């Protein structure tokens, strides 16, 4: 932390080697087949160098897969539906690879629900900022009367894609992203029941 703490500093190449080896082995063997010893061997380092950085295997995997994930800036396509279409494609690109289901599942199982929630929230905030931008644009454009809760849209978009790909294992059928974008955009613009959901913009309890 402190820039001038005593002792030999951590070798940044070791950090990178750990994360890289973790990603490679996750792709090769999956989450259940991943061992810390194999990561160390692949990275050409000792196990202690890993445990000096991450207390458990789960933390290491989380760092290797989630940390530093970048959400690109959304292009302004001119319509909410097309923006959401881009978002669906982006999310699919991030979590669509085979094996990601296992990784995310393993993290879900190994960390306590509260721990994973804490860890996820940081990551989720990035995506939500992007989503908020999309929703604000649509509001400014006049498509939406008021910006909905980005967390709500996030859960729907991410959840639907994850469930289809990794829970039901149904592959990335071509029209799925289209349907999803059309349905969510349409539903946000014309919610059934006509209830004006005013003021749920930031309600995220607990």
Partner DNA sequence: GTTTAACCGAGACGGTACGTCGTGTCTTTCG
Partner DNA sequence: CGAAAGACACGACGTACCGTCTCGGTTAAAC
CA dist 143 and 190 (Å) reads 10
11 binds DNA (CB under 7 A): yes
135-154: contacts with DNA (CB under 7 A)? none
86-145: contacts with its own copies (CB under 8 A)? 98-99, 101-110, 112-114, 116-118, 120-121, 124, 141-143
For 30, the token pair is: 């999956």
Residue 140 phi/psi, 5-degree rounding, is -60, -35
Task: Count CA within 13 A, CB hemisphere, residue 77.
Answer: 12
- Give the x-and-dash track for 19-38 against DNA (CB under 7 A): ---------------xxxx-
CA dist 40 and 47 (Å) reads 5
Task: Count CA within 13 A, CB hemisphere, residue 71.
Answer: 22
69 binds DNA (CB under 7 A): no
- Give the x-and-dash track for 144-183 against its own copies (CB under 8 A): ----xx-xx-xxx-xxxxxxx-xxxxxx-x-xx-xxxxxx
CA dist 97 and 109 (Å) reads 20
57 binds its own copies (CB under 8 A): no
- Residue that is written with structure tokens 């760092």 in the block: 63
Task: Count CA within 13 A, CB hemisphere, residue 195.
Answer: 6
- CA 72 vs. chain centroid, Å, equals 12
Binding footprint of DNA, residue count (CB under 7 A): 29
List the one residue from 55, 192, 195, 203 that touches DNA (CB under 7 A): 55
Q: Note the residue count of the chain.
A: 206
Segment lying near its own copies (by CB under 8 A), choices 16-24, 37-45, 63-71, 188-196: 188-196
Partner from its own copies, DNA, none binding residue 79, C-beta < 5-8 Å depending on class: its own copies
Nearest approach in angstroms of CB 24 to DNA is 15
Nearest approach in angstroms of CB 114 to DNA is 17
Segment lying near DNA (by CB under 7 A), choices 8-16, 67-75, 126-134, 135-143: 8-16
Contacts of 152 (CB under 8 A, 6+ apart): 200
Cβ closest to DNA, residue 14 vs residue 144: 14
Packing angle of the helix pair 57-65, 100-110 (nearest 10 deg) = 140
For binding to DNA (CB under 7 A), which residues are involved?
Answer: 4-11, 14, 34-37, 40-41, 43-49, 51-53, 55-58
């Amino acid at each position: 932390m402190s820039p001038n703490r005593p002792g030999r500093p951590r070798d940044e190449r070791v950090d990178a080697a750990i994360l890289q080896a973790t990603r490679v082995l996750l792709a090769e063997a999956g989450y259940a087949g991943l061992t810390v010893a194999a990561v160390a061997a692949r990275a050409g380092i000792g196990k202690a160098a890993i445990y000096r950085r991450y207390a458990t295997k789960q933390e290491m995997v989380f760092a290797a897969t989630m940390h530093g994930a970048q959400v690109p800036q959304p292009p302004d396509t001119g319509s909410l539906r097309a923006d959401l279409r881009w978002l669906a494609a982006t999310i699919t690109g991030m979590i669509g690879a085979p094996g990601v289901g296992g990784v995310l599942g393993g993290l879900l199982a190994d960390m306590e629900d509260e721990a994973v929630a804490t860890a996820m929230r940081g990551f989720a905030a990035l995506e939500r900022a992007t989503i908020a931008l999309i929703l604000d644009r649509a509001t400014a454009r006049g498509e939406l009367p008021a910006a909905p809760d980005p967390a709500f849209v996030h859960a729907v978009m991410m959840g639907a894609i994850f469930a289809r790909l990794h829970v039901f294992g149904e592959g990335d059928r071509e029209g799925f992203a289209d349907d999803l974008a059309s349905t969510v955009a349409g539903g946000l613009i014309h919610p059934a029941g006509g209830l004006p959901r005013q003021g749920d913009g930031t309600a995220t309890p607990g």
